[in-house]
Amino acid sequence: MLNFYRFRQDYLKFEGNDRLDLVNRLSTNRVNTLQQYSGIKTVLTNDKGRFIDLITLYNFGDFVFAACSFNNAGNVLTHLDKYTIMDDFKPFNMAGTHETILFFGNDSLKFVNNVFDIDISGISNNDFKVFKSSGKDAIVSRNDDKFGGFMFIYAIEDKSFWNDFLFSGEITTVFNAVEVTDEQFEAERIAKGIPAYGKEISEQTNPLECGMNDYVSFTKGCYIGQEVIARMDAYDKISKHMIKIESAVSFKQADKIVTDGKECGFVTSRVKTSDTNYTGLGFVKTIFLNFDKSYQIKNDRFNFDCKIYPVK
């Protein structure tokens, strides 16, 4: 099976001799050693260790192309500008100039091998290749989250060309690619426990609470928010954890989670999975977290039972 989803992102471009060093000083992962045609995800945090955004860097050698959350490029640039003093760093807002298609499913690696002649199984993390056809080029990048597969990023001015290339003739016939709707993608994202910007990724949360330890280096040294995150890790002081939620009654983002009559968490995402079942993601404070206990969701009108599960 081959699925694809038109993944909405904003885009940035970083130039200047200090482009990687500056992002390294402002984010959670070690990025200053990023090699050409390598990609990496890192989290920009504020001085409280909470999210500005999760960004993906693609190092082209003489510049860095970056992807951030949809409609958040301006916020990211404002944060970077706040801490740019004497650095040789020139950021550019590229929102609206490119588009991304996420290909995933069991046939995704075979697809990229056959169509682009790229063995993506030998590419790790978010590393990438530049694919060229008829004078057009695009990024083919390994996707390292639980969806797997790869990201295909192209200039929006070439959209018609790439859509004809990807979804016409033999390619469609052989692989029978199926487009995933927003609702289907959201259901799968929640099922896989992948945090999303504006939901799990927000000014109320930090990377460790979202289980995003893979994007945090605990040995790289100082960055904005590093003291808070390092203290949480060293003393096991994570104040809340992301959890999965199930209920037979509909709930919504920002509803409170209750146990023993006390508010202990909040809902961040929800999707309807059947006529009698709703699932979502949220957070529960560590001191109240016990998967054998009873929990309720508190909305504007009444409380109703729910079940919570660990995100794996």
**According to the model, what pLDDT value does residue 170 have?**
64
Q: Reply yes or no on whether the pLDDT at 72 is more than 90.
A: yes
Q: Are residues 14 and 110 in the same domain?
A: yes
User: For residue 300, what are the domain limits?
Assistant: 210-310
**According to the model, what pLDDT value does residue 122 have?**
85
**According to the model, what pLDDT value does residue 28 have?**
98
| DSSP per-residue codes, 4-30 | EEEE-EEEEEEESTTHHHHHHHHBSS-
In a domain, 23, yes or no: yes
pTM comes to 0.96
Q: What's the N-to-C CA distance of the chain in angstroms?
A: 24
Model confidence at 221, pLDDT cuts 50, 70, 90, reads confident
Model confidence at 133, pLDDT cuts 50, 70, 90, reads very high
The predicted model gives 263-290 an average pLDDT of 96
Sorted by sequence, the CB contacts under 8 Å of residue 54 that are 6+ apart come out as 41, 42, 43, 44, 68, 69, 195, 197, 201, 212, 215
Which H or E run includes 195?
none
Query: Sign of the C-alpha dihedral, residues 67, 69, 71, 74?
Result: negative
Q: Are residues 150 and 227 in the same domain?
A: no
**According to the model, what pLDDT value does residue 172 have?**
66
Q: Are residues 8 and 153 in the same domain?
A: yes
**According to the model, what pLDDT value does residue 236 have?**
86
Q: Are residues 7 and 132 in the same domain?
A: yes
Q: What percent of the chain has pLDDT over 90?
A: 90
- If one counts the domains in the chain, the total is 2
pLDDT tens figures, 156-208: 999 999 999 998 866 667 888 899 999 999 999 999 999 999 999 999 999 99
Model confidence at 12, pLDDT cuts 50, 70, 90, reads very high
